[in-house]
Structure formats: C-alpha cells, structure tokens
C-alpha cells in the first residue's frame, strides 16, 4: 500500500527535464573543475542536453536495428532486485530488513561480510583494500562504507524483498550506462525511485540520493568522505 500521492508521482518528464537542465550546467562546471580524483573516469558525454546527438557515435547505434529504432541505452542495466544474500546475512546474526550502520557491527561480523561485498560487485578484496594494510581507507572503501550506511540501511525495496549490494550491482562494480543522460534519468526513476522507498517512510525521490540542488556525481564526494 502506497501512501497518498507522493511528490515524485508528478509526470516524470517534468522532473527529468529539470534534472537535465541542471546536468547541462553541472557538466559544464565539472569540465572546468579539474577533478584529480583516483583513477581515470570516463569523460562526461558532451551532448548531455541531447540537443545534438549527431556527433556522438554511440556504440549502440552501430549495432542498432535496421528499422532505425535504436534499443534504449539502458536496456543492459540490470533492474534493481531482491538480494540473494538474505540467508547469508541471517547466518551472521543480521536482519537483512533492518541492517545497522557499519560502525555498530562487531569487527568479526564486518570481516565475515566481506565476501558478500566482493561477490556483489564482482571484484577482489584489493578493489577496496590496500593489500598491505586492510585498515587503510581508500576511495572505493569510503564509497562502499557510504553505500552501506546511506543505501542499504536507509532504503528498502517497495516489494518487501531484502535490499543489499547485489540488488543494484548484480556482480559489477560499474554498470550505469551514462552516455544518454535522459535515458538514464528515466531508468533511475523506474528503478531507484519507483522500486525503492526510505526505511523511515519519508518522501523519496531523486533528491534522496542526489541531494537538492541535484548533484549528478555525488560519488566523487563520497570517495573523499572519511
């Protein structure tokens, strides 16, 4: 049962249009910001406004159908879904529907959780850890810690299934298809807004994760958070 008319039930086009306008500004700002964070990030697609798609030879169009109707660029992103790790979490004494912030978990439980992180993202331990010093903070370890505290703890699946790292990652560390911001915004609305809710039952929308004003690349902030 949904509470009556939540804010985000406005026609999605209104919101998406607003966000796209913000994105165009943010993309321009990001280009000048000289971000020197860890590892190369693919550059933001220049045609965020979608006004001139002509010059962007997206791989999707190369393999596009003969009918000229290109498949949605978000078709390959796995939809958000119930976690397969519910039983593993219960075996560690955790309730997958009521996970506590990472700082409240005993160290031995945190260590035993680690294989679920690796499997959810399809990565090795070194993706997040300095192999000579597991206690050291790295950008990926900071993001992982925020993903636990901000997403897994504070959000829930509308359908009642357990929400965990694999619900969104499906075995991949990176999985968003970013070159078509409009398509991705629609995908975000259909998955991260419509299929999720806040555990505290407050209104949920783009701003739950992106903030207000809309910050498209908030993970860059999370990478430096601790």
Q: Does 77 bind ligand HEC (CB under 6 A)?
A: no
Q: What residues have CB less than 8 Å from 145, skipping those under 6 apart?
A: 102, 225, 226
Nearest of 225, 179, 148, 174 to residue 39 by alpha carbon: 174
Q: Does 173 bind ligand HEC (CB under 6 A)?
A: yes
The stretch near ligand HEC (CB under 6 A) out of 58-66, 68-76, 87-95, 118-126 is 118-126
Calculate the CA 226 to chain-centre distance: 19
Question: Residue from 156, 157, 192, 197 that binds ligand HEC (CB under 6 A)?
Answer: 192
Give the long-range contacts of residues 31-34, CB within 8 A, separation 24 or more. Answer: none
Q: Which is nearer to ligand HEC, 94 or 165 (CB)?
A: 165
Q: What residues have CB less than 8 Å from 46, skipping those under 6 apart?
A: 27, 55, 56
Q: Does 115 bind ligand HEC (CB under 6 A)?
A: yes
Cβ(8)–Cβ(209) below 8 Å:
no
Nearest of 41, 70, 74 to residue 53 by alpha carbon: 70
Question: Residue from 121, 156, 157, 183 that binds ligand HEC (CB under 6 A)?
Answer: 121
Question: Residue from 74, 85, 89, 117 that binds ligand HEC (CB under 6 A)?
Answer: 117
Q: How many angstroms separate the CA atoms of 83 and 163, rounded?
A: 6
Q: Does 58 bind ligand HEC (CB under 6 A)?
A: no
- Residues engaged in binding ligand HEC (CB under 6 A): 15-16, 19, 23, 44, 102, 110-111, 114-115, 117-118, 121, 123, 125, 127-129, 134-135, 140-141, 143-145, 147-148, 151-152, 155, 163, 165, 167-169, 173-176, 178, 181, 184-185, 188-189, 192-193, 196, 206, 208-210, 216-220
């Amino acid at each position: 049962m949904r509470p009556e008319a939540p804010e985000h039930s406005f026609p999605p086009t209104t919101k998406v249009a607003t966000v796209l306008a913000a994105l165009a500004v943010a993309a321009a700002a990001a280009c000048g910001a000289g971000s020197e964070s860890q590892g190369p990030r693919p550059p933001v697609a220049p045609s965020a406004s979608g006004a001139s798609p002509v010059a962007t030879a997206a791989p999707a169009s190369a393999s596009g159908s003969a009918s000229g109707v290109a498949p949605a660029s978000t078709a390959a992103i796995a939809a958000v879904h119930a976690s397969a790790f519910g039983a593993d979490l219960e075996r560690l004494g955790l309730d997958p529907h009521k996970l506590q912030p990472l700082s409240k978990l005993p160290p031995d439980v945190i260590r035993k959780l680690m294989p679920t992180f690796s499997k959810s993202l399809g990565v090795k331990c070194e993706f997040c850890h300095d192999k000579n010093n597991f206690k050291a903070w790295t950008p990926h370890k900071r993001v992982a810690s925020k993903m636990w505290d901000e997403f897994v703890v504070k959000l829930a699946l509308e359908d009642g299934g357990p929400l965990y790292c694999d619900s969104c990652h499906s075995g991949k560390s990176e999985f968003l298809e970013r070159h078509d911001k409009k398509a991705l915004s629609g995908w975000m609305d259909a998955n991260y807004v419509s299929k999720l809710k806040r555990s505290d039952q407050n209104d949920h929308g783009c701003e739950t994760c992106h903030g207000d004003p809309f910050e498209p690349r908030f993970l860059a902030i999370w990478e430096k958070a601790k």
